[in-house]
Each structure stands twice: as structure tokens, then as C-alpha cells.
Amino acid sequence: MPAEPPDPVELDLSGLKCPLPVLRTRKALRRLSPGAVLAVLSTDPLAAIDIPHLVRSEGDALLDQERRDGAIRFTIRRGPD
């Protein structure tokens, strides 16, 4: 039986504009242990491009990306160090 994924750490970046959402997401990810999950909420339209790019470049995994009430919610698993 597969292990349940850990509860995500929530990061609400609503109202922040580029480049702050990606910078704060990077900082939050670096504070997490490998395998931990981060959920990021952003209202910045550019986050739809910037955050997935950050995740790929840092070696993390984008588990989900969904639009909700004018915001985008990203679920990210921290990769290995």
C-alpha cells in the first residue's frame, strides 16, 4: 500500500506581483526537507509561467496546478538536495 503524501505547507502569495511569488516560493522550498510538499496560492498571472519554470530548474516536482477564483494553486514536492 503506497504511503499517504504529507500534508502540504501552505504559502499564500495573493496580491504579490512578479518577481515576488517566484522568489518567495524558492525561499520556502529551500527551507523544506526533501520530499515535503508545498502548496502555493498566487494571483499573479505570470506565476503560471514562472513557478513551473522554477520547479523544473530546481529539480523539484510540480504535482498539480489549478485555477481557483482568480488565483492559481501550485502543489510542489521538494526534490532531493
Catalytic hit among 1, 7, 15, 18: 18
Give me the helices (H) in 1-81, please. Answer: 20-31, 47-58
Answer yes or no: are the C-beta atoms of 44 and 18 closer than 8 Å: yes
Evaluated on CA atoms 27, 33, 53, 73, the torsion sign reads negative
52 flagged as catalytic: no
Active site residues: 18
